[in-house]
Structure 1
Amino acid sequence: MSVQFSSAQFGGEFKPNYDESKVPEFEVPNPLKSFRKRKIKNVRQWEKIRRPELLDFFTHNVYGKIPGELKIESWEVVEQSNNALNGKARRKQVDLIFSKNGHRLFFNILIYLPKNVEKAPVFLGYNFYGNHTVTNDVHVRISEAWARNNPSFGIIHNQLTEQSRGVRENRWQLEKILDAGYGLATIFYCEVDPDKDDFSNGIHPLLYTDGQQRPAYNEWGAIAAWTWGLSRAMDYFEQDDEVDENKVIVFGHSRLGKTALWAGATDQRFAAVISNNSGCGGAALSKRRFGETVARINRSFPHWFCRNFMIFNQNEESLPVDQHELIALIAPRPVYVASAKEDLWADPRGEFLSAYYASPVYNLYEKEGIPSKEMPDVNQPVQNTVAYHIRTGKHDVTEFDWEQYILWADKELFNK
C-alpha cells in the first residue's frame, strides 16, 4: 500500500483551539447504525454486525493490527514476599519472557495483593517511569529498559535510577487500593515497547517478516503494542492462583488511558476499563478538534497509531467513526471516563460526550450509561456502568480519582 501525505496532514502550523464556539459543526456517527445504514436494534445485531465492523475499522485505520500471535514462552517469579509494605501485602515481581525470529523480549509485572484476600481482584495499568516509581518499597527492581529523560526524577541518558524511587507514589494510591481489598499490578510500558519513533526494538521485531523494518500502514503502532502487553499480563493472571482473573480492571492515564480503552475493546477478558485524561485517540471525540487534534498527535507521536491514521490529519470530518464507538466496543462491561478541569488539551467535554454517545449501546444490554448531555458539576461523579467525572486540577492521577474508581468497582463488580 502506498499513501501520499501532504504537509498539512502532518500538522503544519498548529495553534490549539480552546474556544467552544470555534468547535466545527459535525455529525456524531450513530453507533447503532451500520456502515451500510442498517439500524441496530438488539444485542444480537450489535454483536454480529456492528461491533465487528467497528472493531475492524479501528484496527486497520487507527491503532493497527497485530501481525501474528506471540504467546508467553515462559514466566518466572524473580522476587516475592508475603510480608510487604509493613506486613499489609504480598508482593511478587514476575518476568514474562517472549522470543521469536531471533529476538528476545521480557517485561516485568510488579504485583501487590492484599494479605486478607485469597483470590484478589486487581487493577492493572502501565506506569511511565518504572515499577520502582509507584512505591518507596526498596525491594522493587529498577528496570534497565530505555526511559524518557526527566532530570527532575534523576533520569538522564534514558536510564532509570534510584533517585526516582517512589516519585509517582501519589498517582497510584497503593494503600487505598489494598485497604479496599484490591491488588495492583503495574508494568513499565517501555519494557514492552520504548516510547519513541523507532520500531527496531521492543516487541515489533519479533513479528516482522523477512526484511521488514517497520510496521505496514495498517499494522500496530506503540499503543497497540502496549495493548498486546496488557493482554499477555492477562494470560499470566489466568495461571496465577492468587489473582481473580475474572475481575481484572485495566487502567491507564494519558497515552496509557488510550491504551487501556483499546485493550478493553480488543480483549473481552478485562472485567472493566478506566480511562484517565486520555484525550485525543482515547476518549475524546476527534471531530471536535478541541485541544490536541489528530494531526498534532500524529505529528508529535508518529509511532503511537498505525500510519493509516495519518489520512485523517486535519481531515477528521471524513472519519466514519469517532471515539464514542471505541468506548461502545467495551459494552456491556463497565467503563469509567475521567477528565480534569484544567486539562483542556485532553478536551474534557469531548471525553464526556464520548461516554454519553456510547451509552445507547450499553442500553441495549440494559446497562445504565450517561443519562444527560449536560456535563456533571466538577467533583460530582456519575457512577453508572458508563461512569464519568471531571475533577478540579490538571493532567494527573489523584487521590480523588482513585477514591471514585474504587467505589465504582465495588458497585459494578461486587454490587456493594
Structure 2
Amino acid sequence: MSILNSTHRIFLASASIGVLLAGAAVCGAQRATKKHLPAPVTFTAEQDHQNMMDQLGLEALRPGPSGDENAPNHANYDESKANPYPNLPDVFTLKDGRKVTTPEMWWKQRRPEIVEDFEREVYGRIPNHTPKVTWTVAVTDREYVGFTPVIAKRLVGHVDNSAYPAINVDISMTLVTPANAKGPVPVLMMFGQSLLPNPTQPPAEDVEKINAKLRALLSKDDPEIAEIFRKYPGYDPVPPKAFSFPLRLNPGEDRPPHEELLADGWGYAMIDPASIQADNGAGLTRGIIGLVNHGQPRKPDDWGSLRAWEWGAARGLEYLETDPAVDAKHVGIEGVSRYGKAALVTLAFEPRFYMGLIGSSGKGGATLLRRNFGEAVESLAGTGEYHWMAGNFLKYAAAKVKSGGPMNPGDLPVDSHELIALCAPRLVFISYGIPAAGDAKWLDQQGSYMAAVAAQPVFRLVGAKGMGVSDDYRTAQMPPVLDGLLGGELAWRQDAGGHTDAPNVKYFIEWADKKMGRATRLR
C-alpha cells in the first residue's frame, strides 16, 4: 500500500511538473509573440498621406478649391457650372445591366453591390474581426436638465487590446434619460463631447466638511497658505453651488436640443468620436484603426475615421440595447458637419439604428460628390480630410499617376444619393441652415437636396415614402427656407439658422414621434 501511495505521489508530482512546464511554455510563447509585435508607427498626417499615395501609385493630386471667394482658386458657386458629371449612377441598375424591379432584388442583389463599392472606394471596410467592447457604468447621477429630472450615466467602453497592448481605446459615452419615464424611451445618440449635463453637488454641510479638510491639508506644510487662510477666514476653496432654474430670455425661444428631447420624453446619448478614433491623419496608426492594424499604416481599402466613428456608435448602441430605460428599437443617430457625415454613414451601414438627423453634412455626407460647387472631392482627398475616407478615395482626385490615366469624380462607382438610399426604409431627416446665418455655401445645400430626390425611388420600392416631390434630380430645386418636406420616411428641412441642426430638432422630434406612433409633448 505504501508503495502504491509513493508511486501515486510520484506520478502526481510528475504530472504537476508537466502541467507547469506546459503552462510556462504557453506563457513564454505568448510573451514572445507580444514581444515581437511591431511598435506603433508614428507618422505626421503628411507622411501618412504620402504613404497612401505611394501605395496607390499616385504622383500628384489636383489641389482642392479655396473657400475664400476672393482667392484665385476659389470654389465654384455658379450653378450653371455645378454639374460637370450630370448623370448619377442608377440606383436600380445591377452590374450586369439588369434593372431592379422588386424589393427582393434590391435587398439581395443591388444593395450589396452598392455597399461593396462604398466600402472599397469611398469609406473603407470595417475588419471582419474587431475587438470586443466591454461597457462599464462609471457614474450614475440624478440631475436636472432644464426643468426635467433625469438619470445620467457616464459610461466607458473598453476595447479589448489584449492582441496589441501598445494601443488602448476607451469609448466615452453619456446616457441621459427622464427620471419619471413610465417605460423605455426613444434615444437620440449624438456625436460630440461626452459629459454629465448637470452633476449634482453635495449639500452645504458636506461642502463645509470638504473645505475644512482642504484648509487643514493645505495649511499643514505651507506657512504661506496657512497665513492666507488666517487673513481670509471666510474664504472657501470649494464654493457652494446655488441652484437656479434655467431662464428663458424670450418666451418663444427654442430650448437647447437636449432639453427639447427630454421635454418630449426622449433620452439622449453623447458619444465622443475622439475617444474612438482621432480626427486627423496622424492618428490613423492609433485609435481603433491603429489597434486593429497593430499600429501599422492603412491599406487602400481600410476604414477611415467616418467608419471608425460608425463602428463606435454601433458599440454604443449595443450598450443601449442592455439598458432597461432605453427603447432599443427606436434609437437614432445625429451629427452636424463632419459628424453629420458620420451620422449618415452610421445610419447607412448599421441597420439597428432606427432613424437619423443629418445636419449640414456636405461632401462625404449627403451632398453629391460629382457636384462642382463649394467643397470638392479634391478637398476630401487633401491632407486635412483624407483620413475620413478610404485610401482608395484619393484616386478620384489624382492629377498624375504612375500607370494608367487619372480619374475624376465622374468615375466614382457610387454617389451620395445611394448612401441615403442605403438607409431606406428607416427614417432620414436631412437638415441644413442658410449661408447668410453661417451654414456656408461651401456645403452645397442644393447638392444634398438633389441627392435626396434621387434616393426617393428606393424608399418607395421598399414600402416607405419619399419627400413627395418629383424624382428628377437634374431639375430639382430646394423648397423655400422653413418649408419642410416632412410627410415621408425621407425628410428635408432648411431652417433659417447657421451651421447647426438645433433649430430643426423640434421638427425632427415631431416628425419622428408621428412615425413611431407617439404623441408629441413639446410645449
TM-score range, shorter chain: 0.7 to 0.9
SS in 2 for 1:195: coil
Conserved 8 A contact 1:10-1:310: no
Q: How does 1:217-228 map to 2 (within 5 A)?
A: 217-228=300-311
Cα distance in 2 for partners of 1:370, 1:5 equals 41
Match of 1:165 in 2: none
SS in 2 for 1:203: helix
Match of 1:323 in 2: 416
SS in 1 for 2:330: strand
Which runs of 4 or more aligned residues in structure 1 lie more than 4 Å from their structure 2 counterparts after TM superposition? none
Shift of 1:371: 2.5
> Out of 70, 76, 79, which is 1:17 matched to?
76
Match of 2:446 in 1: 349
SS in 2 for 1:108: strand
Shift of 1:108: 1.6
Shift of 1:74: 2.1
Conserved 8 A contact 2:148-2:263: no
Shift of 1:415: 5.7
Tell me if 1:395 matches 2:499.
Answer: yes
SS in 2 for 1:40: coil
> Out of 287, 292, 295, which is 2:378 matched to?
295
Cα distance in 1 for partners of 2:175, 2:445 equals 31
Conserved 8 A contact 1:88-1:115: yes
Match of 1:108 in 2: 172
Match of 1:131 in 2: 194
> Out of 181, 184, 206, which is 2:268 matched to?
184
Match of 2:346 in 1: 263
What amino acid does structure 1 have at the position aligned with 2:134? S
Taking a change above 3 Å as real, the CA distance of residues 312 and 404 of structure 1, as seen in their structure-2 partners, is: same
Shift of 1:229: 0.4
Conserved 8 A contact 2:124-2:389: yes
SS in 1 for 2:97: coil
Match of 2:158 in 1: 97
Match of 2:336 in 1: 253
Taking a change above 3 Å as real, the CA distance of residues 80 and 56 of structure 1, as seen in their structure-2 partners, is: same
Match of 1:380 in 2: 483
Shift of 1:337: 0.9
Conserved 8 A contact 2:168-2:287: no
SS in 2 for 1:283: coil
SS in 2 for 1:392: coil
Match of 1:283 in 2: 366
Taking a change above 3 Å as real, the CA distance of residues 201 and 171 of structure 1, as seen in their structure-2 partners, is: farther
Conserved 8 A contact 2:158-2:171: yes
SS in 2 for 1:287: coil
Q: How does 1:24-39 map to 2 (within 5 A)?
A: 24-25=83-84, 26-39=86-99
Taking a change above 3 Å as real, the CA distance of residues 306 and 208 of structure 1, as seen in their structure-2 partners, is: same
Match of 1:153 in 2: none
Shift of 1:265: 1.4
Q: How does 1:199-214 map to 2 (within 5 A)?
A: 199-208=284-293, 213-214=296-297
Shift of 1:171: 9.7
Taking a change above 3 Å as real, the CA distance of residues 301 and 364 of structure 1, as seen in their structure-2 partners, is: same
Conserved 8 A contact 1:250-1:273: yes
Taking a change above 3 Å as real, the CA distance of residues 236 and 378 of structure 1, as seen in their structure-2 partners, is: same
Conserved 8 A contact 1:356-1:370: yes
Match of 2:38 in 1: none
Taking a change above 3 Å as real, the CA distance of residues 248 and 254 of structure 1, as seen in their structure-2 partners, is: same
Conserved 8 A contact 1:295-1:313: yes
Q: How many residues align?
A: 380
Deviations 1:98-119 (A, max 9, x none): 1222132112211110123221
Taking a change above 3 Å as real, the CA distance of residues 297 and 411 of structure 1, as seen in their structure-2 partners, is: same
Conserved 8 A contact 1:341-1:392: yes
Match of 1:119 in 2: 184
What amino acid does structure 1 have at the position aligned with 2:371? R
Taking a change above 3 Å as real, the CA distance of residues 374 and 222 of structure 1, as seen in their structure-2 partners, is: same
Normalised TM-score (structure 1): 0.86
Q: What stretches of structure 2 of length at least 5 have no aligned partner?
A: 1-53, 67-72, 202-253, 399-407, 470-475
> Out of 235, 241, 249, which is 2:324 matched to?
241
Conserved 8 A contact 1:286-1:322: yes
Conserved 8 A contact 2:446-2:477: no
Tell me if 1:305 matches 2:389.
Answer: yes
Shift of 1:405: 1.1
Shift of 1:90: 1.1
Cα distance in 2 for partners of 1:402, 1:270 equals 18
Cα distance in 2 for partners of 1:64, 1:88 equals 42
Cα distance in 1 for partners of 2:122, 2:389 equals 6
Match of 1:195 in 2: 279
Q: What stretches of structure 1 of length at least 5 have no aligned partner?
A: 141-169
What amino acid does structure 2 have at the position aligned with 1:29? P
Conserved 8 A contact 1:84-1:91: no
Shift of 1:172: 5.2
Cα distance in 1 for partners of 2:291, 2:144 equals 36
Shift of 1:391: 1.7
Conserved 8 A contact 1:16-1:292: yes
Conserved 8 A contact 2:433-2:501: no
Conserved 8 A contact 2:65-2:376: no
Conserved 8 A contact 2:187-2:268: yes
What amino acid does structure 1 have at the position aligned with 2:173? I
Shift of 1:401: 1.2
User: Looking at CA atoms only, which structure, 1 or 2, has the larger radius of gyration?
Assistant: 2
Match of 1:160 in 2: none
Shift of 1:268: 0.4
Shift of 1:406: 0.6
